[in-house]
């Protein structure tokens, strides 16, 4: 059985569900936290920046890495006790002060807000996400 990691989801279980991601050097990065406390702290920092509330979900690492590979995202593991060595590494422990605009992700609730979420822009991505969600629900 694959080890579980903790990811941040917005609107978990809804049709507008999204996974938290960062844009780093032209790549969309999804953070996989080893420790739940680290993920909860990161979610709290996002909320302090007026993000919607994120839920922390423990999922099999292998499944999330597969999802990221299929979606063209980079899965970045944040181990327990991680100490940043570069400015980019610091973004794995605290969100950037300036975030991407995602009005297209959820226009009604985020009008004018900045986000680090990657919008789900195509029907193919939505179908892939839905298939992944069903497979995860099957594991639970």
φ, ψ of residue 72 to 5 degrees: the values are: 80, 20
Res 79: pLDDT: 94
Confidence of residue 37 (pLDDT cuts 50, 70, 90): very high
Q: Is the pLDDT of residue 26 over 70?
A: yes
Candidates 92, 74, 91; CA nearest to 34 is 92
pLDDT of residue 32 exceeding 50: yes
Is residue 106's pLDDT more than 70? no
pLDDT at position 105 over 50? no
Q: Is the pLDDT of residue 28 over 90?
A: yes
Structure tokens at 18: 């999204």
Strand-pair category, 27-33 with 54-60: unpaired
Say yes or no to pLDDT of 30 above 90.
Answer: yes
pLDDT at 98 over 60: no
- Domain range summary for the chain, segments of one domain joined by +: 4-139
Q: What is the pLDDT of residue 14?
A: 87
Give the pLDDT score at 24.
86
Distances in Å between the alpha carbon of 44 and those of 49, 51, 54, 88, 128? Answer: 9, 9, 8, 20, 28
């Amino acid at each position: 059985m694959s080890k579980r990691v903790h990811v941040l989801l917005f609107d978990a279980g809804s049709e507008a569900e999204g996974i938290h991601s960062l844009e780093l050097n032209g790549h969309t990065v999804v953070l996989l936290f080893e420790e739940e406390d680290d993920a909860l702290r990161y979610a709290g920092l996002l909320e302090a920046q007026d993000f919607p509330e994120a839920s922390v979900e423990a999922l099999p690492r292998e499944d999330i890495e597969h999802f990221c590979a299929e979606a063209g995202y980079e899965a970045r593991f944040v181990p327990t006790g991680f100490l940043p060595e570069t400015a980019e590494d610091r973004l794995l422990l605290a969100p950037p002060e300036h975030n991407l605009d995602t009005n297209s992700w959820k226009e009604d609730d985020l009008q004018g807000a900045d986000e680090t979420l990657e919008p789900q822009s195509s029907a193919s991505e939505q179908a892939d996400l839905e298939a992944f969600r069903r497979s995860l629900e099957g594991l639970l």
